[in-house]
Structure formats: structure tokens, C-alpha cells
Structure 1
Amino acid sequence: MKKVILGMAAMAFLFASCEQDPNQTIVEEQQEAQVDMSDFYLYTDSSDEKRSENAPEKCYSMKNLNRLLNEKKGLHKKMYDVEAHTRKILAKKPDGVGNGNGGGGNDGGGGTTDPGDNLGVVNIPVVVHVIYSNSQENISDQQINSQISVLNSDFAASNNDANNVPSEFAGLVADSEISFTLAEVRREANSRTSWGTRDDMKYAYPPVSPANTLNIWVCNIGGGILGYAQFPGGPASTDGVVISPQYFGTTGYVSAPFDKGRTATHEVGHYLNLRHIWGDGRCKQDDFVADTPESDGPNYGCPSYPTVNCRNTDMTMNYMDYTNDACMYMFSEGQKSRMRTLFMDGGARTGFLN
């Protein structure tokens, strides 16, 4: 009997020693939930001092975001939560892969080795809404297919010009493991010749299944604007990307030097939560990606290498800069990690996996 009692006592001790202290669990959960959001921002002045007066406005996404923040109550909180979720996931990766708070420099915020997220290749169905007032704007199926092809090659780092990346950044070129499939083309004749940037085209022709479909409206925006996108967290009724027809795809009704489909690559980057490479600010404004160097503004044309700002070599060939289509040809590993957090549990675009 004594042996039985001693045995039971030993088992009770063992069970107690293995059971985790509830208070310890709470502390660990609180620590896991805490991420540094001190550098988070949404509003920008969206000024573009480097752009010449007559040059096209490459991207209207940040100005569109400013407008939505003013109009949509609760949007700031939603986008804050999207960013916090992204940082929690990236904080678990070795050396904080892809995380911000590193000043944006090559040596800030951690390394770039990504152990993988077990998602595999994420496929995004695409619905293209062609809204036209004349035959030129009613772009061909061939032109649409050429754009889908560019998206697939650019996001897979299989583009032919990827080998132009200088050795300084060559090790950062990323296959995002995101692919695109054309699901449907919707053609809409409309006498309106310019649609502007207040999402009128989306209200006239609403998005198809925005939770699990990328909607792209191809229509004349006007004002020399190439395109704009909505960031994750915005209203479902306006979710997607808008691009003027002459900057969509690589053949047909296209206009140089933005005739290689990179406007869509850039805008889909925004749709997947990437900021402009310079962070829409000066040297201390971050794009929340550790392996993209700090810069003080966008680059245009085809800059010479190296182009140095903020004591760093600019990654001018990154898709999230403003250079000509022929002179941008990479996403970084940090940008890949950032995009893919959207598809993970609790992410803003998990609908693509369901």
C-alpha cells in the first residue's frame, strides 16, 4: 500500500511539473502579440517633386488611399490590423525576414533567408473588365493575355530581364510563388471617355467575387495617370486594380515607355500590400521591407547604376519604383515574404486559398 501511495504521489508531481503555468501562457501570448508598430503610417503627402510637369503620373495608389482614409470610417484601423498581422508572422521568421523597422537598408531589420510558409504556389484568378468608348480602348484578347503572361513571369522571377539585376542585389531576386489565371473578360461599351480616380468604373461595373478574385478595370483614367490599386483592408466593393488601356500588356494598343506590362505588376504589388520602394517619404520613411534600401523619392526613366541616395544604392530596378518598364525587373525576398503573409491564417487575402 505504501508503494502505491508513493507511486501516485510521484505521478502527481510529474503531472504538475509538466503542466504549464496558466500565467506563463498568458505572458507568452502577450509577448507574441506585441510587435513594433511605431513606424506605421498610412497618410502621405503624395507629392512627387522629381516628376516633370508633362510626364505621366505613374501611380495614383497613395492619393487614392488618402481619399479612402478620409471617406471610409474605420479603414485606418483595418489597415493597421493588416500590418500588425503581417509583422507578427514575419517576426517568427529567422532574423525577422521581410520585416520593417529596419530603416529600409540592406543591413537593417534582419536577414532574407525564408524557410517557407508551406502555402505552395498561390494562384490568383483574374477578371478583366474592359470599359471602352472607342475601338482602341476595346483591347484585344491577345493584349489581355500578354498582360497575364507578364504578371506570371514577373512574380515568378522568370522574366527575361531578371539577369540585368546588378550583383549587389542579385541574391535578393525573389520568386514570389504567386501565379495568375485569366478567369473572365467582361467587355462594357460606354460613351464616357475618362473615368477619373474616384472608383466610378467600379461602381458602374462592380467587382466579381473580390474575396477570391483579382478584378482589373482597364479603362481610360485620364490626367496622364497609368494606374492605381486598392490596398488590402479597403472596401470589398472597390477592391482591385485600375489601369489605362495603353499601359496594359505588351502588344496592341500600348504606349512606350510603359509598354511591357509593368504598370500592372506595380499595381498588383500594391494590391498585395507592397509600398513604393522609397516609402513615399524621405530617407527615414520606410516601405516596411528590410532588404530594400532607403531612398528619398522615386526614380524615373532608366537610371544609371549605381544611383545613390540616403547613403545607399537605390534599388531602381524594383517593380515598386517609378522607372520605365524596360528598367524594372525584380521583387525582393523581403517583398515576397510581405506579400505572402496576406494568404496565411488571419491574413487579408486568405480567400484565395479557400
Structure 2
Amino acid sequence: MKKLFLLTCTLLTLFSCTTDTPNLETENETFSISAKEGDSLVTNERNCASQDILEHELKKNPELSLKIEKIEEFSKKVIIKDIFEIFPIQIEIPVVINVLYRTSAENISLSQIQSQIDVLNQDFNGANAEFNQVPGIFAGVKANVGITFVLDRVIRKQTTRTEWAVLNEEMKKTSFGGIAPTSPTNKLNLWVCTLSGGILGYAKTPGTALDLDGVVIDSRYLGTNGRATAPFHKGRTATHEIGHWLNVRHIWGDSTCGNDLVSDTPSHNAANYGSPIFPHYSTCPGNPIEMTMNFMDYTNDVSMYMFTNGQKDRMRAQFLPGGYRYSFIQ
């Protein structure tokens, strides 16, 4: 208690700035909506819509950029002060899985869902099989993020919709046949549905509206069994998207040789796809070896298997007093 009081006081000098009973039983609802025209694509190339969603929201709400700027200010200050070492915190995130399905295949099994939770716990705790295969040049910065995920409940809802568009986010709105988020201030909501346009998934950036907060994953790219489809069948799409949800950016900074705001990741020309052969050199200044195995690149699931210490700090900053997701540990 004394440590928590001291931590709160420390952070307040740096920066001025809710729970349900767990239920693993499936909740079922039925809702009919006219099917949309067009085929849902199965893709062989990773396509994350998180940045597109953020840019779309910034155009609608210019004040959002100020909110994100404040979150960045806070993160920088606590990272510089190395608050994590002084006050280590245990982070456990309850996960609500919202399944929207038309066919029996889309109504994915609890086994497929649990396999995704298992992957998250491995990837965010340095327990994945590939963690010890990180090339020597990056071994000194590979991170055990120290976040645990627990399946809180599964909510299922039937629909006649064949696919869900990304920008409108109707899968999160009951008025359009979706499922509203459950307790977004202290639970991670993860929607599972068939997405249009070959999108594997996307996440909401810290600072955006809570009534749409969470992560969306196409059911074909969730977990490691059932409907999971190669080359995105190892659960890494959710790892990537939850990285965004925890304020980590694409490793190339969403521009040529861009800035991901992390000091221990090398500059990347752009996204890498497939399974690059190591070492893959960048043409950015200094010609660094690109960290193609980082979860925030666009490589195949089998080829991504690490976060860095800098990415870890950005994630954990969200849970400190004054951080955007502090309510998760209260």
C-alpha cells in the first residue's frame, strides 16, 4: 500500500492528468441484418487497419490528436524516470471475446479461442518457443513484457451479415447487429467476425472513444486451431493488434524510414511481408539490419516472435497511475 501511494505521488508530480464477475458461459443472441454484397477475401499478406482507423478518427475529431499527445507526454516522462524499476506492477487483463457469426464455421470453438489466449500469454511473457531464437544482434533488447491475459467470457451473436466493414465499426454497435463492449475500462474486448477487404484485424489506439475500444480479429486469423488459416495461424495477429491497443506502433512508423517512437528498434524502409531471410538490411540511414521478427512488422506468423524493451516500456506505461489504462489494475 505504501509503495502504491508513493508511486501515485511520484507520477502526479510528473504529469497531471471500473469490474464484472467473471463468466465463462456463452451468452447467445440472435439478430438478422441484410447480407452485404461481395466476397470476403482470404489473404496471404498481412493487412492491419489500425493506422487507417486512427487517421479516419483524427479527421472526424481533430481534438483527438491533443489527447494522444498527452498520452505520449506521459509515456515519455515515466520511461525517462524509469518508474517501472522502482515500482514494478503485476498486470492481468480480462478478455471478453465477442463472436459474430453467420455460419457454423464462423461460430468458432472455445478451443480456438483458448488457443489465442495461450498464445498471448506466451508472446507477452517471453515464453514462446521462438524467443530463444532471436538473433544475437537483438538478443540484448528482447523483452518479457510481463502481461497476463485471462479469458473472462465469450459472447456469441448470430447474424445474416456475410462480412463486416472496418471503418464503420458496426460490429461494435447493437443498432447495426453488433455487440457493444463489456466494461471497456477494465476488460479488453476482442471482436471476432469475418472482415471485408482482406483485413486481418485492427485495434483502437489509446485515447480513442471507449464505446468502441478494443481489438477486432477476423475469425480466420485467430488462435492456432479450428478456423485459423495459414500463414496467419499462430495467433500473432492478435499479438500484433494488442500491441497497438497498448500504444505500440508499426515498426516502420507508417512511413518510409519512419519513427515508431521506440529507441531500441532499427529503422525500417517499410513493412516486411512473408518470411524474410536474416539479415535483411534497411536502406535507411546507417543501413541497419531490420528487426523483421518483431511482432509489430507485417511478416507471417511463424516469422514474428519478439517485442523489445522499449516497446515493453510503452505498454506498461499505460497501466501506471495517470496512464490511459490504469483502471485495469485498480
Question: How would you bin the TM-score normalised by the shorter chain?
Answer: 0.7 to 0.9
Using the size of structure 2 for normalisation, the TM-score is: 0.83
Q: Which amino acid aligns with 1:325?
A: D
Alpha-carbon distance, 1:338 to partner: 0.9
SS of alignment partner, residue 261 of structure 2? coil
Q: 1:117 to 1:269 in 2, by over 3 A?
A: farther
Supply the distance in 1 between the matched residues of 2:318 and 2:324 (Cα, whole angstroms). 5
Supply the distance in 2 between the matched residues of 1:221 and 1:118 (Cα, whole angstroms). 41
Supply the distance in 2 between the matched residues of 1:82 and 1:69 (Cα, whole angstroms). 15
Alpha-carbon distance, 1:173 to partner: 1.2
Supply the distance in 2 between the matched residues of 1:119 and 1:90 (Cα, whole angstroms). 13
SS of alignment partner, residue 224 of structure 2? coil
SS of alignment partner, residue 124 of structure 1? strand
Partner of 1:273: 247
Using the size of structure 1 for normalisation, the TM-score is: 0.78
Q: 1:220 to 1:325 in 2, by over 3 A?
A: same
SS of alignment partner, residue 130 of structure 2? helix
Larger mean Cα displacement after TM superposition, 126-135 or 66-75: 66-75
SS of alignment partner, residue 269 of structure 1? helix
Partner of 1:341: 317
Q: Which amino acid aligns with 2:323?
A: G
Alpha-carbon distance, 1:57 to partner: 4.6
For 1:108-147, list aligned pairs within 5 A.
Answer: 116-147=85-116
Q: Which amino acid aligns with 1:254?
A: A
Alpha-carbon distance, 1:289 to partner: 0.3
> Between the two proteins, what is the percent identity of the paired residues?
47
Deviations 1:275-302 (A, max 9, x none): 001111122x210000000111010111
Supply the distance in 1 between the matched residues of 2:133 and 2:75 (Cα, whole angstroms). 30
Alpha-carbon distance, 1:121 to partner: 2.4
Partner of 1:213: 187
Alpha-carbon distance, 1:163 to partner: 1.7
SS of alignment partner, residue 293 of structure 2? coil
Partner of 1:86: 75
Larger gyration radius, structure 1 or structure 2: 1
Alpha-carbon distance, 1:170 to partner: 1.0
- Equivalent residues of 1:56, 1:226 under 8 A apart: no
Alpha-carbon distance, 1:177 to partner: 0.9
For 1:161-310, list aligned pairs within 5 A.
Answer: 161-197=130-166, 198-203=168-173, 204-283=178-257, 285-309=258-282, 310=284
Supply the distance in 1 between the matched residues of 2:170 and 2:311 (Cα, whole angstroms). 30
Deviations 1:209-231 (A, max 9, x none): 00110000000111111000001
Q: 1:83 to 1:304 in 2, by over 3 A?
A: same
Deviations 1:126-145 (A, max 9, x none): 00001001011000000000
- Equivalent residues of 1:56, 1:225 under 8 A apart: no
Supply the distance in 1 between the matched residues of 2:216 and 2:84 (Cα, whole angstroms). 34
**Unaligned runs of at least 5 residues, structure 1:** 1-28, 34-53, 94-113
Aligned: 1:68 with 2:57: yes
Deviations 1:164-184 (A, max 9, x none): 210000111111111100000
Q: Which amino acid aligns with 1:207?
A: P
Supply the distance in 2 between the matched residues of 1:248 and 1:117 (Cα, whole angstroms). 36
Supply the distance in 2 between the matched residues of 1:32 and 1:118 (Cα, whole angstroms). 15
Partner of 1:37: none
SS of alignment partner, residue 85 of structure 2? coil
SS of alignment partner, residue 164 of structure 2? coil
Alpha-carbon distance, 1:153 to partner: 0.3
Alpha-carbon distance, 1:70 to partner: 1.3
**Unaligned runs of at least 5 residues, structure 2:** 1-10, 16-42
Deviations 1:312-341 (A, max 9, x none): 000000000000000000000110011100
User: 4+ runs of 1 displaced by more than 4 Å?
Assistant: none
Partner of 1:51: none
Deviations 1:103-159 (A, max 9, x none): xxxxxxxxxxx9625243200000000100101100000000000000000000100
Q: How many residues align?
A: 285
